[in-house]
Amino acid sequence: MIYYDMSKTWKKNCPKCGEKQIYSTKYVRDVSLKNNVWCNKCRGLQKRIKIPKIGWTKNCPLCNCEQKYSCKSSFTNAVKKNKICLKCLGTSKRIHNGIFQHICNKCGKKLNYSCRQSLNIAKKNNSLCRNCATKESAKYIDRSFQKTDEYRNMMSISLKNSKLHKKIMASQKIKEKLRIAKLKQIKKLGTQTNFNPKACEFIENWGKKNGYNFRHALNGGEIKISGYSLDGYDKEKNIIFEYDEPKHNIKCVKEKDKVREKILIEKLNPSHFFRYDEEQQNLYDVIVRKEG
């Protein structure tokens, strides 16, 4: 271990500020004299970056307004990347959404992003649009449990007990949509709705006798209105003809017929609405309220 004799000191003055510099060895003092070394205080001040009087400033490339920076590193970075001011950056995000845009590889839809970072992440992950992403994820979800009888029974019980479901299903709009959907399904499957040939024959004969040209199941097919199939309809004179079999005298069926009547009158506003009761052999006009 080397011990220094502090009684013997080698000194020199700082060439910058003139303060005394004390050295423990003669060799170090001589090297500092040779290199004209400043004191630690002056050397520390020299290492610091001198802030210009104006500060670290540059002009925005879009609006030419002055941009101020707190340090040299952020200033040099802004100059290198030719950054715009915060005001212009905000308006460019709001107006020019096309700057941060990515195209979905699946459907080709343009996706807009609020910042460049989000855009880069989307490009890196090859992101899809929301619609395509949900369809893609649905392929890997196991829904086999929904086809089981246990699940179907459970869902039917829960819907039967649901007050909201009952309220929704009771609305006329939903009932109409369901009727139309059922007719579309019948058409798609290639099946035919039930009809009474005897009723078609009666409507045809009565129509010719009274100067009407009714369209029915055996004459061009039944007209569909609001999900209902009309037994007979004369489009030129706007006349409806309904043929009621004996089952139409049952209370619940009668109530359904009244609802059907009301909807058809609202939709078509016919000049006459004839109903024929097969059981009682009675023909009457619903609108005029008198027998035919």
Asked whether the beta carbons of 102 and 113 are under 8 A apart, the reply is yes
Residues 6+ apart with CB under 8 A from 152: 146
Q: What is the pTM of this model?
A: 0.47
pLDDT of residue 101: 83
Span between the terminal Cα atoms of the chain, in Å: 135
pLDDT score recorded for residue 47: 61
Pair 248, 282: CB distance under 8 Å: no
- Output the pLDDT for position 95: 41
Side-chain-facing half-sphere of 228: CA atoms under 13 Å: 22
Q: What is the pLDDT of residue 291?
A: 55
Residue 233: count of CB within 10 angstroms of its CB: 25
Q: Which two tokens stand for residue 281?
A: 């052999």
The CA distance from 200 to 112, in Å, is 61
Apex 280 CA angle, 278 and 283, nearest 5: 70
How many other C-beta atoms can be found within 10 angstroms of the C-beta atom of residue 212? 19
Predicted pLDDT of residue 187: 84
Ordered by start, the domain boundaries in the chain are 10-47, 56-95, 98-136, 188-291
pLDDT mean for each 10 residues of the chain (292 residues): 58 87 86 86 69 79 84 84 79 52 86 83 87 87 85 86 82 87 86 85 92 90 89 92 91 90 90 90 82 54
For residue 174 the two structure tokens come to 């939903």
Looking at residue 7, what is its pLDDT? 58
pLDDT number for residue 45 = 66
